[in-house]
Amino acid sequence: MKTTWATPSSIEQKWYLMDASELILGRMASKIAMMLMGKHKPTYTPFIDTGDFIVVVNAEKVLFTGTKARDKKYNWHTGYFGGLKERTLAEYLEKDPEEVIRLAVKRMLPKTKMGAQMLSKLKIYAGPEHPHAAQKPEKIQKEA
């Protein structure tokens, strides 16, 4: 029996809609990362982007367990001397709730050019509105 590999011409990419309200960030991000990579499909091929498009709405209503909202810190460096910056998760949620989900998913994807290509298929919106109605995204059911 031969292993069949997906080719770029044989890939069918679908659109999915996920409502982030009442979902825990890490569990939701891992599910999104798996779908962006295409690991939920039987035609998954590691060196071909077989993943689907994901539209996430209500990003500001995502939940966190424990005291992560005030204790979790994001660090980055500006490139200048003494340029180490820090922001808590609560501050990020106030300023840019879409970036919290984008960072969580980005850090679960491969750190390659293909990982960046997968991340570009993720569309995140803070409110319930999104401009992708023409693609007819399928709603992903919330898990209990």
Task: Record the tokens describing residue 76, joined without a space.
Answer: 């980055």
Mind listing the pLDDT tens digit for each residue in 19-54? Answer: 999 999 999 999 999 999 999 999 899 999 999 999
The total domain count for the chain is 1
CATH of the domain at 109: 3.90.1180.10
> Is residue 16 within a helix (H) or strand (E), and if so which, with residue range?
strand 15-19
> Is residue 30 within a helix (H) or strand (E), and if so which, with residue range?
helix 25-37
pLDDT at 131: 97
105 lies in which domain range? 13-65+96-130
Residues of the chain with pLDDT under 70: 143-144
> Can you tell me whether residue 112 is helix, strand or coil?
coil
pLDDT at 1: 74
Q: Is residue 143 a part of any domain in this protein?
A: no
Q: Is residue 38 a part of any domain in this protein?
A: yes
Q: Is residue 43 a part of any domain in this protein?
A: yes
pLDDT at 141: 85
Task: Record the tokens describing residue 79, joined without a space.
Answer: 């490139």
For residue 15, which phi and psi values (nearest 5 degrees)? -110, 135
Q: Rounded CA gap, 80 and 46, in Å?
A: 38
Q: Is residue 77 a part of any domain in this protein?
A: no
Q: Rounded CA gap, 85 and 74, in Å?
A: 8
Q: Is residue 20 a part of any domain in this protein?
A: yes
Q: Is residue 24 a part of any domain in this protein?
A: yes
pLDDT at 144: 53
Q: Is residue 139 a part of any domain in this protein?
A: no
